[in-house]
Amino acid sequence: MSMHPDIEQVLFSEDEIAAIAKRMGAQITEDYRDKNPLIVATLRGAVVFFADLARAIECPLTMDFMRVYSYGAGTKSSGTVTIDTDLRTDIEGRHVIIVEDILDSGLTLSKLLDVLRERKPASLEIAAFLVKDIEGYEPPVHPRYVGGHIPDAFVVGYGLDYAERYRNLPYLGVLKPEVYS
C-alpha cells in the first residue's frame, strides 16, 4: 500500500503491527488461560487494535466496550474524562483487561481505572498498543502489556485519528505537522 501524502514517516508497518498483536495475544493467553477475562475496548481509537489482539488470544474471553472522551478535536489531552458509553457487563469479581490504543499523558486511562476499581473487579490490567515516551514525564499508569514505544509525536493510523481522519490507515505513522498547525 502506498503512503498517504499527509504522513511524514511510518513507525509501524502492517507486518510489524501483526507481529505485535500476536506477541501480546500470546502473553495474555498464557496469563489468563483459566480466567475468562473480560477485554474492554475503549472506543473509538482502540477498536482496530482490539480486533487484532482479540483474535490473537487463544483462551475463552468476553468483550465489552466503553467510550470515554478526553481530546475534542485537538491534539492534547484535556485532563478531564467523560464516560459517554459505559460497560454492559458487571465486572465485580471479573478479570478485566482494558485495551488502549495509546498512552500519552495517561490521564484518560488513570481516570478510567479509578472508576472501574470501585466496581471491584478481581483484577484490572491494561494492554496498550503504544506508549508515548515523553522526556522527563512519568505517566500515572503502567500497562502490563505494551506493544511498542514511540517518541513524543502526533501519530495516526491503525485506529488513531486526527479530527476523525486516518483511522483506517493499516499502518501507524507520524502526521506531517503542517496538517494540524
Query: Shortest Cβ distance from residue 91 to ligand IMP (Å)?
Result: 20
Verify binding: residue 107, ligand IMP, rule CB under 6 A.
yes
Peptide bond into 44 cis (omega under 30): yes
Name the residue among 69, 146, 77, 137 with its Cα closest to residue 107.
77
Query: Contact, 131 vs 106, CB < 8 A?
Result: no
Residue with smaller CB distance to ligand IMP, 96 or 128: 128
- Which stretch in 15-23, 83-91, 96-104, 118-126 sits in contact with ligand IMP by CB under 6 A? 96-104
Look up residue 164 and give its three cell numbers. 476523525
Nearest Cα neighbor of 110 from 88, 131, 80 is: 80
Identified binder of ligand IMP from the candidate list 77, 146, 148, 176, rule CB under 6 A: 77
Q: Give the x-and-dash track for 131-160 against ligand IMP (CB under 6 A).
A: -----------------------xxx---x
For ligand IMP, the closer of residues 23 and 67 by Cβ is 67
Strand order in the sheet with 172-175: 7-12, 172-175, 155-156
Select the residue interacting with ligand IMP from 104, 126, 145, 173 (CB under 6 A).
104
C-alpha radius of gyration, the chain, whole number = 16
Catalytic center residues: 104
Q: Helix (H, G, I), strand (E, B), or coil: what is residue 171?
A: coil
Q: Kindly write out the interface string for residues 24-63 of this chain, putting x where it contacts ligand IMP by CB under 6 A and - elsewhere.
A: ---------------------x------------------
Residue of 105, 125, 131, 173 interacting with ligand IMP (CB under 6 A): 105
- 114 Cβ contact list (under 8 Å, min separation 6): none
Q: Say if CB 126 and CB 145 are below 8 A apart.
A: yes
Among 10, 29, 71, 87, binds ligand IMP (CB under 6 A): 71
- Judged by the rule CB under 6 A, the positions of this chain that interact with ligand IMP are 45, 70-71, 77, 100-108, 154-156, 160
